[in-house]
Structure 1
Amino acid sequence: MTQTVTPSELSKSQTTKTKPLYRLPVRFYGYQLLTLALLAVLFTWISRDETFDRWITGFWYDAALHRFPLQQNPLLDLLNHRLAKYLAIALAVSALIYGVVCRHARWVTTALLVGLGTLVVGTLKSISHHSCPWDLVEYGGKAVSWPLFGHPPADSGPGRCFPGGHASSGFMLMGLFFGFWRERPRLAWGCVALGVAMGLIMGFGQVMRGAHFFSHNLWAGWWVWFSQVVAYGLISAWFAKE
């Protein structure tokens, strides 16, 4: 006996096979952009004169030795600077492989968003004139520090230290939100929490070594999430089936 396949069932079968993108509600973008705007104001206030940053960094700087004792610490370098970064990258690559093999457009997009976050931060870092703490005069170096939105002095040093590049390797996991939100929204928000936690932990490891100020890492997380939200909105608006 021949079984009749209705158009709706055929459409469902094709959707299951190709796993297309879906749009997020407009209110999601409104809430996120408002939150990002408020965080930008807060982070700017924290970064305005580096008082808060210097207070935190002071706990890890030995004024008598004129250096950061943990700068070359092998255990901190192994656990925080290498293994944590490799784990984050492995998760992103796994998402990409899964998306390609299963023809899952949303997971391919998710993997690209994860990489986009670190690319944006890396680009901003590469053109920054802000030097790392261990390069500054106050911490045994030769470079001069200056306010976030100030004019860089002639002796600003090697620069390339803002935002925090290493922290972005943890924050980029927030992008996994876009892979899970459709079927498992709680898990999706759990991925955002995981990314924030990883970014802060990995970033603080760099603070302990004298490689970054704490606000550098906060801005890294801001730029990662901002780029991911905006990029998914644009991509899904163009390619989404619903």
Structure 2
Amino acid sequence: MTPTFDKKIPEHYFRNHLLLPGLLFITIVSLIEWSHFDLTLSQFLFHLEGGVDSWPLRGAWLTETVIHKGGRNFVILLGLIIIGLLIASIKKVNLRPYRKGLIFIFLSVLSSVVLVRLGKSITDIDCPWNLKMFGGSADYHSLFSRVGDLNSPGQCFPAGHSSSGYAWVVLYFFALAYGKQYRWLGLSFGLGLGMTFGLAQQFRGAHFISHDLWSLAISWFSAALLYYVMFARSQSKSSPVIQSQDISALEN
């Protein structure tokens, strides 16, 4: 990819990357809450696995060893690659144009993981495997149904493992800055990784689907806002006059 730094019109950027995704997120989360789809899906998965008083796939080789532990190591490897490229950009001339983008990826992934970790530490939302209906000891409470329960095991919301995958939706924005034709490939990688991690955790009884959606939202909006600060805003300030061909390209 050649670093071209496509010009952005701020109002278009906010509409397409913040307003519309925000409305979609609120709609989906509201429907899940209203329909109790969290419980419906988890009960379906629990009985599908043949669960009686525990989740059969909680300690399974594929879900725990490969996807949970292996996935965590894979994400650590990705982070080390980004750090390695940043260090290499100090001396490698061909990497220097990408340094800002690499810093952007690092900060975005870090902020997504930290925000999710912070959310887990201040909420008392239970994992499915904590609940009485799935062999645990806690009562079920939806996200918006209470203020808090000091007796709850909690700290299962938002979903930590899937957030380490969804954090890589930042590659969509990286491509938006350096080569727009690759943005959907970057988005597919982040969504695919997060969904793989999230589904495995749902099969283990570690999270409800809404936990994963919140993690995706945190990752997306963290990347979108940071992109605006580091790229879109500075481009709009440095290019106050946008040529007609640029506007046509944006509309397409």
Same fold (TM over 0.5): yes
CA RMSD between the two structures: 2.6
1:209 corresponds to which residue?
A: 204
Aligned partners of 1:131 and 1:156 also within 8 Å: no
Cα distance change of structure 1 residues 21 and 126 upon mapping to structure 2, 3 Å threshold? farther
Task: Give the letter aligned to residue 44 of structure 2.
Answer: F
Task: Give the letter aligned to residue 76 of structure 1.
Answer: T
Residue segments in structure 1 that go unaligned for 5+ positions in a row:
1-15
- The aligned runs of 1:82-161 (5 Å cut-off) are 82-102=69-89, 103=96, 104-152=99-147, 154=149, 157-161=152-156
Aligned partners of 2:104 and 2:226 also within 8 Å: no
Within the candidate set 215, 218, 227, 2:213 is matched to 218
Within the candidate set 19, 26, 43, 1:58 is matched to 43
Q: Following the alignment from structure 1 to structure 2, what is the Cα–Cα distance between the partners of residues 173 and 106?
A: 13
Residue segments in structure 2 that go unaligned for 5+ positions in a row:
90-95, 239-252
Cα distance change of structure 1 residues 144 and 67 upon mapping to structure 2, 3 Å threshold? same
Structure ID, larger Rg: 1
Aligned residue pairs, count: 225
Question: What TM-score comes out, normalization by structure 1 length?
Answer: 0.82
Quote the sequence identity (%): 28
Cα distance change of structure 1 residues 197 and 64 upon mapping to structure 2, 3 Å threshold? closer
Mean Cα deviation higher: 125-134 or 61-70: 61-70
Q: Following the alignment from structure 2 to structure 1, what is the Cα–Cα distance between the partners of residues 51 and 175?
A: 50
Aligned partners of 1:95 and 1:111 also within 8 Å: yes
Task: Give the letter aligned to residue 177 of structure 2.
Answer: R
Question: What TM-score comes out, normalization by structure 2 length?
Answer: 0.79
CA deviations 1:52-74 (Å, max 9, x no partner) are 11222123325763111111112
Name the structure with the higher helix share. Answer: 2
CA deviations 1:123-163 (Å, max 9, x no partner) are 11121111111001111111122222222464651111111
State yes or no: 1:67 paired with 2:54: yes
SS at match of 1:167: helix
